[in-house]
Amino acid sequence: MNTVKNLSDLHEDTMSIINLQIALEALESGNFQFGIESLEASAKNGTNAAALYNLGICYERGIGVEPDRAKVNNFISNLINKILTFRHVIIIVKHLL
């Protein structure tokens, strides 16, 4: 049973990474709606730190969405909960300032 759970987790992680790549490519090409939807799919379980970070940036800067500070704070809070090193938190905070 543990093997099935591990395979399921691997599948979920893999799909999250694929959705993140698709999202970034869509955003770079100007397809903002699809990019945001793909980022949200990638971040839905809260384990893809890069997706959480990029969603926070989109909502902070209004890239493809209306700026929303509450959502930025939510994404950053989830991101901080996933990041275990203080160094990463400092980098994120510096970027947002």
pLDDT (tens digit per residue) in 4-51: 777 777 778 888 888 889 999 999 999 999 999 999 988 887 778 888
Q: How far apart are CA 16 and CA 11, in angstroms?
A: 9
The CATH number of residue 73's host domain is: 1.25.40
- Domain count for the chain: 1
Read off the pTM: 0.73
End-to-end Cα, the chain, rounded Å: 46
Expressed as residue numbers, the domain containing 57 is: 2-96
